[in-house]
Amino acid sequence: MEHRTAEGFDVIAQQGFAPVKMWTQGVPVDDRAKEQLAKTARMPFIHKHVAAMPDVHVGIGATVGSVIPTRKAIIPAAVGVDIGCGMMAARTSLTAADLPDNLFALRTAIEKAVPHGMSPSRSRKKGSNRDKGSWGDIPERTVAAWQDLSAGFDRLTDKYPRFRNTNNINQLGTLGTGNHFVEVCLDEEGHVWFMLHSGSRGVGNAIGRTFIEMAKEDMRTWMVNLPDQDLAYFPEGTDHFDDYVFAVEWAQQFAFRNRQVMMANTVEAARSVIAKPFTADVEAVNCHHNYVAREHHFGENVLVTRKGAVRARRGDMGIIPGSMGARSFIVRGLGNEESFCSCSHGAGRVMSRTEAKKRVSLEEHIEATSGVECRKDAGVIDETPAAYKPIDAVMAAQKDLVEVVHTLKQVVCVKG
């Protein structure tokens, strides 16, 4: 049963199970997403309730835009396969007047500095397995960043040798595909920001998929009945639980470093086409939105999985991006405990990628991204603004979770 409260969130009550609290007033929520949230809340180890952010939409197993607190258990599919995916933003000393008239040159410079996209295996050059979204010769900056990751990777691959045959160091400092991006933005006072979105790339994907399948196999071995097989879990105290926690924490560290390397390369690329010297360390935010962490809520130490959600403790800085044609926001957390101190990670999809390609024309995409130097071809229609919820409605629905510090509007957008 769903009902509205005076506290700014709606509740799905389930007799005998934990409820779902949803910060979704004024934004559309698919009935399939509500059912998926309800199934997750039926797991026996949920702590208090499941929280749904305003960008909530159907995911694999757990819903994207959900916060799942658990006692002594962890659901790998709730973290997903883009482990540690998140955002980074850096405010510069530049203003709009300092940007070159030729924004295409700026976009091209960033595209050259940050490997992006993906080469299908059938299109790769004969004798080469290199994906265009990976490094060929590993740059010094990437090698240096890998030093903090190498010991953990060795420990991980000593037990799971399969992870050696992944894109790991050769994708450290690369963007990927889908909704990942690098943007040049202007804030409300005309200051220039660089903002980017990516995660743990190929190695994180391999870790996620491997442990999701291991959890499913464990459930079959133990004959555990689940409301959805993608809610398969590892109980605390088992070898697989400990191995997964180590692997996911390593992948989250990889994702954090990945964004740092990309940001450094983006700034360097911008300096090659912007005549005025500038700094880019005035203000920086680097936050995950697909991850798990140990936290204390409602008197207990629990595992909090944020699948498409950002931690928003009082004073925490976060980033909530719109689509490639809409505004984005630098926010400060208000520490709302009912949401487990969380907020949305973006606008949230209202169309699947397939649906967007069928329903949105190239002309509509070009119009929606007017004023933004970006790709305007059929290959990015699945990321067109119409595929996402209105970001202003999303922000209004979570006004008791975060406060807006800066409003950004992109002028350049690099997509894979």
Dist CA 363 CA 367 (whole Å): 6
Integer-rounded Cα radius of gyration of the chain: 21
CB atoms within 10 A of CB 346: 29
Q: Is 262 exposed, middle or buried (0-12, 13-18, 19+ CB in 10 A)?
A: buried
* Residue of 180, 288, 345, 406 marked active site: 345
Strand 64-70, strand 300-307: pairing: antiparallel
Concatenating the DSSP letter of every residue in 155-187 gives HHHHH-GGGGGSSSGGGTT---STT-EEEEEE-
What tokens does 26 get? 């004024």
Dist CA 12 CA 5 (whole Å): 11
Distances (CA, A) of 384 to 86, 179, 348, 354: 20, 10, 12, 12
Instruction: Give catalytic status of residue 345 as yes or no.
Output: yes
The set of residues, in sequence order, having a beta carbon less than 8 Å from that of 159 and lying 6+ positions away, is 243
**Helices 239-271 and 103-113, axial angle in degrees (round to 10):** 140
The residues assigned a catalytic role are 345
